[in-house]
Structure 1
Amino acid sequence: MTIRDVTESPATHEHAREGGSRPSRGWTLAAFAGAAGVVLAAGSQVANATVTAPAEPRPSVSPSLTAAMQAEMMSDVLPASPPIRLTDPVTDGVDALTDAEREGVQDALDRLADESDLRLFVVYIESFDGTQPVDWANASANQSGFGTQDLLLAVATADQEFGLSADTNVPLTDAQLAGIDDAVAAAVGAERWADAATDAADAVRATGAGGPAPLLVAGVVAAAVLLLAALAWAVWRFGVPRLRPRLARRTPVVTGPTPDELAHLTPAELDARAAAALVGIDDALKTCEQELGLARAELGADATRDFELILARATADVREAFAIRQELDTIAAARADEAEGESPEPPQTEPEDPARRERLAHLLALCERAADTLDARTRAFDDLRRLQQRAPELLDDVVARAPEVAGRVGVTRSVLEELAQTYPSGTLALVSGNPEQAELLLANATEAVAAGRSALEAGQKAVAVSHARGAQNALGQAIMLLDAVDATAAHLELATSRLDKAVASLTQDVTSARSVEGDFRVTLARTAAQAALKHVEVTRQGGDPLAGLQRIAAAEGSLDAALASTRDTTEVKARASALLRDTLGRVDEQLRQTADFVATRRGAVGATARTRLAEAVRLSEAAHALQPADPAGALGEAQRASTLVLEAARLARADADAAVAAAAAAAAAGEPDDGAAVADANGPITGGMMLGGILLDPNLVRSRRRASTARIGGGFGGGGFGGGRPITLRRLGSLRVRR
């Protein structure tokens, strides 16, 4: 069977010679073809005037599927009553019909076969056992080798359900199929099993299909083909040559920045542009991930699988862009160290570096490609979620969930107060402000819901959708902030319990190292290990267990490497594997904490912190990949990841603190900051949503125009599956500061 699918593609015509035919011949050909088509269509219409397509066909209750689609669909369907191969017009496996009723059904099927080319098969079973009736019928028809003119009615008597299978090319409209479904539904609902089959056969016969309908179809198709061919030839011959120069001038081409476009930028300007592009596209990915999570919860994983692949493709480009930035930062740091050693005074101007410009241009192109990848599916994603139709439901959902989240804020604040009595402030730096930020987000979500409902009352559905998305994202970030505190508390408790074991292991290694004499490397490693043990002992009460574990792990790794020549290979690998497991567990938790912090403060966190975080993620993944085969090599990657994620966390905290301090100072002075225009565009939505990077689109449309600085377009950070947020909207704006 084939799926009902009408595709339209422009015809391509090749001409043996150019300019040989005079215009009059072309118009004569067009006129002749048009006339011929009209005659054929009219003749076919007269031959069978009774078969017409409805003005507004509605989808059939029993849709048709191709054989390939049916086979793929049924691969996951395992009912207790599997699809069967049918050979008789009537198959009654549950004695649903008496002998007289069976004869009556057979007579109805024979009448249909005598008066048309269509054939109807009927099968009665006890139950579809949870399988969709249409899927069961389609699979049985496919297994039975039914053709275009064959229909199958499957009736489950215990379920009181039925499925009608029809080929896509069957000469029945969707409305006619729906009418057949309606006729059968009435009989099945009343448990009149024989009437279900006879009514179906009579309904098919009443449509008049299966007779001369192919003549009408052939006539219309022939007429359309001739007319289109003539028109296409005329347009190609006379219209295209005149329009081609204008089209060439006006057709936009979406590409990354060319070297010529970047040539006028100074090294500092190019660097700033690359940083802005990374921030914009990274924000876009985080927003898309949040939107995709909402869609997955609403519609299921199967409905969002295509968008997950799109997001993965864009993420791969962004990761490569961050890797380029990390490489350039490493080179720049090394050169700065060399320059500082050679000359105490820094150069007045930054030297031109063609290789660096080329790498930054490639970075910008990757960001552009990622934004284009996301933007290409924006409309499809919105269609999938049907937000304009569901805007009231989304707003109500936020209202229903907000009280539970608000109730968690006080509990989370109490947890933090207890943790502060045990651990130093630096240990809790990434989560210490989470309750306050969550409160701001909840307040903003409430404001967004009120604004969305006002927009609905005014009939502005697009505005309501924008506010609903902002409210959903604000609520989601609030939950993420509160969950982060709980996760940190659990991880600190686990780290405290593991610290005793780590200290005991390192103490044993120090004892073993004392027996090795004359090896200067072992002596240095043993001395460093003893210093680490002493430091942990001194800071054990009220100290940071994570920092203690990291210090112990580093000392143990150095001592293991120094003692490797004195141990057998099996012991060396076992010790490396154990140390690697502990290190990776700590690094994964550090990555989670830092990623959550950036995601919930992305309105303030800059490119450098994000770059270090991306590189730490890459190194951690490399360590996990190397873990089975090369524990020693994996340990090195994990240790480098630990160093980078700590640097990323420090930079991210500094960015967020600076943004909040600047906003507070501006508010205290009564002066609008640089983000005032953004705050005005977002109406009452400020505070937590601004810091969280949730900005509502003031124009309520996605724009494909690129910001001159960021080169990333397609929407804003408040919601939506699309491109990055323009850098002009990246500033923090007004914040409510907790007094």
Structure 2
Amino acid sequence: MPGGAAAGLLSVARAEPPLTTLDGAITDRAGVLGDDEAQVRAALDRLADETRYQLFVVYVDDFENMDGESWANATANNARLGAQDLLLAVAPAERLFGLSYVSGGDLSERDVDVIQDAVADRLRAVGDAPADDADWGSAAVVAADATRAALASSSGPEVSPLALSGGAVVVAGGVGGWLWWRRRRQERGVPASSADELAGLPTQDLDRRASSALVAIDDALRTSEQELGFAQAEFGLEATTAFERALAQAREDVRQAFALRQHLDDSTQEAEPQRRELLTRIVTLCDGAADALDEQTAAFDDLRKIAERAPQVLDETLQRADEIAARIDVSRQALATLSSTYPASALASVSANPDQAASLVDGARSAVEQGRAALAKRDRGTAVAHARGAQNALGQAVTLLDAVDRAGQDLAEAGPRLERGIASITQDIADAARLAPLVSAAGDASVAPAEAEARAAVEEARAARDGGDPLAALARLTAAEAALDKALEPARAKAEADARATALLRDTVGRVESQVRATEDFVATRRRAVGPEARTRLAEATRLLGEARSLHPADPPAALARAQQAERYAQAAARAAQQDVAGWGQQQGGGDVGGMVLGGILLDSILRSGGGRGGFGGSTYGRSGRSSGRPGGRVGGGFGGAGFGGGRPAGRGGGGGRSARGGRF
């Protein structure tokens, strides 16, 4: 038996029938854990503390001529383990193991696959290691940690909020495992529930994800409502208006999500694709509501920080106001310089910015004074409101002054940008002319006015190069191009679809022509055996192929659809013809019957007709149709589709509603 560690156990190996009782979470009848038992127990405790699942591990020398799966299931049933109890059984001397679990719980079949693979990999490494280095307990640690990770990532409510504590103020306390899981993913830069991830989940897991999301977001809403009340009492209604709006929208999203859940619970006829679509919508709505609450949580955190250090915040805000005020005269001078080069219309959007910035700075200073007065009266909430108002005013002032700073650069760059814009929109105008037949066929009246505006915008842009307002011309050019793009979108989409369809059509028609020719040859050389079904399918394939060719110039997508239909009929014809020939051979006694008889060449008939061309007699089908009991098989090759292989090898024990995975390592 390979593996140094396992080989060292052979001399003392003792067969163990399935156990009737366990020694506790760890049963080591093989005596292989030693000092490693402590780390195994710690891993099992982490799993039990953070989830609703418990893992039992058993080490014995020998499974008494049973496979690991059956032995593990029998032991789990004898010990009366529950639905959320797993049992890992390992026989080091035999290099066998089994993992018993109850299917249909919070662990999906994919989760169990991952756990099984992790355990098998670890056991294989341990089994191949020298006996002195064998760490058999590490397999149990891997099983516990893999189970814990699977439960955490499967978004089930099995993750304890106590074990997974933390997070923002608004959703702390009632969030549960789902919001913790999505928060951890966001910290790593992963979207809470990406479309690809949801699409990859089995329907059962997606259903659990949706149910868990509903429970978690409902708890988060209730906690958020309490938090809003506290915040309103502390900071006032005005400071919490945004959160109130976000909470109202979150309530509406969650109401829709619960309505979808109720529809799914009431409906027993919902097809799986529609069911998956609704489950995905539920998760998306819950994610959106949670995102909105998260954003407001950050805003509340900011308010609390300001409240904690309100005097310093007011002082810093006043200092910031002085710094911004020093920029105002600089901006005025910059505008004066620009006005000597560009017309007033080119500076209209920024000419009043310095005066507006000065007004905002004055307002910020006044707010700081009022905030200080509120602090003197021990009214910290009012002080925070004034501090926030001053900060917002200064933020707007900075935006205005930055716009003046950028104006000179924008005007300097407007010339080259105009040239690029003219070139780009000119191509769109050319596309409008090229796609005119498609536009006319669709009866779209929006392209003509959009094209006219695009031409007018080009004229204005060209004039602006000689001393006009380049920014206004560029704005008009950009808007005109966007409008023309939108108007041309259906025609462009049709043109692109036609091009893709044409490319696919060439490939499809080539395949179908080859298959039709091959099947025609097959039928022609086996006329005696081939019946009406194969011939009918072949004729339909030929007809559809002709339609595809004729439709191609006017409607490539429709032509492609006909060609694809033709391909299906050609494949069906080939299969039917092969089955007919196989059945005919059996009717003839199974001998080597072929040649001229199979090919429908009857010498007697030919001679009697004087060597002339034969009619339709002589090769009668003699059957009223193909029987489902007729054996299949291939004749000639090249006509059948993909074969059907077996599924995953059997590796699950039965009994007591439990399943098992395992095998040899």
TM-score range, shorter chain: under 0.3
Give the TM-score normalised by the residue count of structure 1. Answer: 0.25
Q: TM-score, normalised by structure 2?
A: 0.27
- Larger Rg over CA atoms: 2
